[in-house]
Amino acid sequence: MIVIIRPAMAALLLLITLTATTIAQQKRQTPAKPQPKPTTPAPAPTFDTLVPAESYTLYGEVRNVGTLIQSNAVNEVLEPILSLAGPPKEFKSLVKWLNTHAEDLMSSRLLVATWPTSKNVPETLVAIEFASAEDAAKFATKLNQMLPAVLPPVPAPTPEGQPLNPKAPAPPPEPAYRLQQAGSLILLTQRPLDLKKLKPAGGKLLGEDNSFRAARNRFNSEPIFVFIDMKLIQRQQEESRKQIAEEVAQRPIVAVNQDLKKQEEAQAEKKSEEPPEPDPEPEFVPEKHMDFELSASAETEKIDPISSALTMMASSFFSGESNWPDAIGLSLSFEGDSFDVRALLVNSPGEKSDTIPFVPMLVPGPPLASEASTILPADTELFATMSLDLPQIYATMSKPRPNAMYYTSRGNVQTDGPFEPPFAAIEKQLKMNLKDDLLPLLGSEIAIRLPVTGLDVFGVPRGPAPVSNTPDNSTAEKSSPKTPVLVISVKDKEGMRAFMPKFVEAVGFKGASAFANTERKEDTELVSYVNLFAYAFIGDFLVISSDAAATRHVVDSYLKHETLSSDNNFRSYTRWQPRPAYGQLYISPALMESYKSWILAPSTRLNDQTKAFMLRLVAGAQPITYSLSNEGFGPLHELHVPRNLILMAVAGISSETNPTPVQRNEGSAIGLMYAIASVQEQFKKYKGAGSYGTLEQLIAADLIPKELVEKTGYKFEITFTGDKFEVYAVPVEYGKTGTMSYFIDQTMVLRGADRGGASAISSDPPIH
């Protein structure tokens, strides 16, 4: 039995082996097709994952778009634009369409990214976020129906290198925009957008950038947010400088010399075309026996070393290389009756930037609660105060700098002279060392009081006429608001008492101590020098002004408790400012109030509609306020501007862009009056043989275009005798081609008035 079983088991094993081998061979010969893996579509981008980091330099975000469209602030700004500027119909259609569809955009966010750093991204990317993809699809249909009317198609460009065939049919125009939907986003670009190329694999998102995140979190509640990547700007500038340097280095010297030669030949040819200059009159040279000393009047005409030194010190604040932050975050909000602008200078941990980058030498001291407002009068028009680190500023300005190198037109390298600190001249004049003799006596708060009447601000075409802020006729009261006053905190009052007489003597008032008159009352001390100069100690502050009356006015107001800190407007409108802070600014309502006299002046070129609109705004005059603080990420600048002042600026600009025919003629006449006056000296020197020219002579000499004269709607008349000339302009048809008459002479001061078509005279008010 064992013999029979063994062969059977062997046969079974052989059969199993052969079967398994055959099956294995069949599997190798006809492999089964692999099953495809299920593919998951790439997730649609969201508002926060759309823009990659370091792809755009400028990023803007608008929150709650529909709410903003329907806000009073936006509609008040649009009112003067629509009624005074005469905007194109496309703009009006867009405004109307947005107001109609504001409900669709009520909680939407708008994104704008521009100034790209890569060629793979669009020049400008606009995205609108909705609550869902369905809402985005519905709005995309409406938007696509409206946009062609605002952004019509543009002609297709001719391919480069392809000859222009006039018989060939013109290619169809290309759309001015590309619209596509990506999930809950609507994307608008100038050319087709490939989302895969927009963000490379593994790239970092803008929302992951530390500077962007810090700025965005700080301004997460403001309706408008803007982010400027300063690192990218500096990198682009550095790359541009390197590229230019490489190109210059690669150019052969022969090519550079050829360029210089061409420039010299062009200058020589241009000079040969100019009329030859007359021979100069022989210069009077006194003989040796005519030696004389400078008179007192001649000495006074020499440059004052103190004034020159102070001017140099002031300009030194703007010198040096600026240390810009990594990024700047901006926000705009509309709170109450003001437009509030905030700027955050974002720095990397452990790094610092200039507080005001374009004023690199301005080094702030410790934050403080300002007390200068308790010293200056309540009628102060502009009040600015800041905490300054004076020793650090002195050390920074005194630090030697490398001599600046520059190339002349002939390719020669020149350098500036040896560096001289801006304090050297004044220290030499004062015969003292400011670092050791003055700075230890001073505190960190420095404030200034300035006038504002006559300023041009925020785009309003021309500044207001000065107005008196005081009811009485006192000389001190009238002059006080118009004279700058400097207020400096003092740490050592006794030391400053000893220093000031030396300073007064050193600046040129020799023997002034014999005329000094000191008046003490309560905690004030006024030192005057025959009403020519005065300074005062008030509490722990030193008050200085070039006008003795202004210094006395500060002291008197302080003793009467009529200080800026007690003014209702100052208290109410500076309540928002953080305390302590590095600095603050306050511009009183006097600025807006002073525009009333300018608006009503006959010489102001505004139509009746604009005047009525501005007068309504002036009635609600409010101050401008500003503060400088630091919350940890970097300097924070915050400016509050009255809404009515913004509306005045918009109205003024709108009126200028859409002048009436009379305003257009008057503007042309003003420009032509200045042109005629400016070419008279040129005509006298080259064409007139020492005499000024008539209008016909100026036209014949190609100095004044005849066509321009004929189109102004004005008649011009020129009279002259000796070294004087007078130019008159009157309307061709009074009331129709113009209402103002103008006058200008060799002083180049334009004057004018409404004289019913008669000529203006030299006593008419100046036209600004």
Asked if residues 765 and 466 have their Cβ atoms less than 8 Å apart, the reply is no
Q: Which residue has the tokens 């309502």?
A: 589
Q: Which of 451, 452, 444, 480 is nearest to 371 (CA)?
A: 444
**Would you state the pLDDT for residue 246?**
80
**Burial class, 410, CB count within 10 angstroms (exposed 0-12 / middle 13-18 / buried 19+):** exposed
Helix or strand run (H / E) with residue 49: none
Task: Tell me what the mean pLDDT of segment 491-509 comes to.
Answer: 85
Is residue 470 over pLDDT 50? no
Look at residues 654, 689, 708 and tell me which one is the last residue of a structural domain: 654
Residues 607 and 675 in one domain: no
Residues 493 and 424 in one domain: yes
Residues 647 and 685 in one domain: no
User: Side chain identity at 603, as an amino acid letter?
Assistant: S
pTM of this prediction?
Answer: 0.81
**Domain contains 583:** yes
Q: With cut-offs at 50, 70 and 90, classify the pLDDT of residue 160.
A: low
Q: How far apart are CA 389 and CA 368, in angstroms?
A: 12
Residues 455 and 490 in one domain: yes
> Residue 531's domain spans which residues?
352-400+419-627+639-654
Residues 664 and 586 in one domain: no
**Domain contains 749:** yes
The total of structural domains in the chain comes to: 2
**Domain contains 739:** yes
**Would you state the pLDDT for residue 184?**
96
Q: How many other C-beta atoms are found inside a 10 Å radius of the C-beta of residue 521?
A: 11
Q: Which of 108, 106, 329 is nearest to 209 (CA)?
A: 329
Residues 712 and 566 in one domain: no
Q: What is the pLDDT of residues 308-323, one digit of tens each?
A: 555 666 676 777 788 8
Residues 646 and 677 in one domain: no
DSSP symbol at 166: T
Q: What is the pLDDT of residues 606-615, one digit of tens each?
A: 888 999 999 9
**Would you state the pLDDT for residue 321?**
80
Q: Which residue has the higher pLDDT, 105 or 472?
A: 105
Helix or strand run (H / E) with residue 101: none
Q: How far is CA 377 from CA 315, 323, 714, in A?
A: 29, 37, 49
DSSP symbol at 729: E
Residues 707 and 587 in one domain: no
Residues 736 and 619 in one domain: no
Task: Tell me what the mean pLDDT of segment 440-458 comes to.
Answer: 82
* Weakest-pLDDT range from 88-92, 426-430, 531-535: 426-430
Q: Which of 482, 466, 464 is nearest to 768 (CA)?
A: 464
**Domain contains 142:** no
**Domain contains 189:** no
Residues 494 and 376 in one domain: yes
CA 642 to chain centre: 18
Residues 615 and 692 in one domain: no
CA 214 to chain centre: 24
Q: Which of 533, 547, 625 is nearest to 588 (CA)?
A: 625
- % pLDDT > 90, the chain: 54
**Over the Cα atoms of the chain, what is R_g?**
37
Asked if residues 548 and 541 have their Cβ atoms less than 8 Å apart, the reply is no
Q: How far apart are CA 376 and CA 555, in angstroms?
A: 8
**Domain contains 552:** yes
Q: How far apart are CA 727 and CA 60, in angstroms?
A: 52
Helix or strand run (H / E) with residue 586: strand 583-587
Task: Tell me what the mean pLDDT of segment 620-647 comes to.
Answer: 94
**Would you state the pLDDT for residue 1?**
36
Is residue 295 over pLDDT 70? no
**Would you state the pLDDT for residue 150?**
85
* Weakest-pLDDT range from 43-52, 90-99, 498-507, 706-715: 498-507
Asked if residues 611 and 84 have their Cβ atoms less than 8 Å apart, the reply is no
Residues present in the chain in total: 768
Q: How far is CA 96 from CA 89, 101, 655, in A?
A: 10, 9, 22
Q: What is the pLDDT of residues 14-63, one digit of tens each?
A: 333 333 334 344 444 445 555 555 555 668 889 999 999 999 999 999 99
* Weakest-pLDDT range from 152-161, 229-238, 272-281: 272-281
Residues 645 and 679 in one domain: no
Q: How far apart are CA 590 and CA 523, in angstroms?
A: 30
Q: What is the pLDDT of residues 371-422, one digit of tens each?
A: 999 999 999 999 999 999 999 998 988 887 666 555 555 555 555 556 777 7
**Domain contains 295:** no
Averaged pLDDT of the chain: 82
**Residue 115 main-chain phi, psi, to 5 deg:** 60, 65
**Would you state the pLDDT for residue 210?**
94
**Domain contains 362:** yes
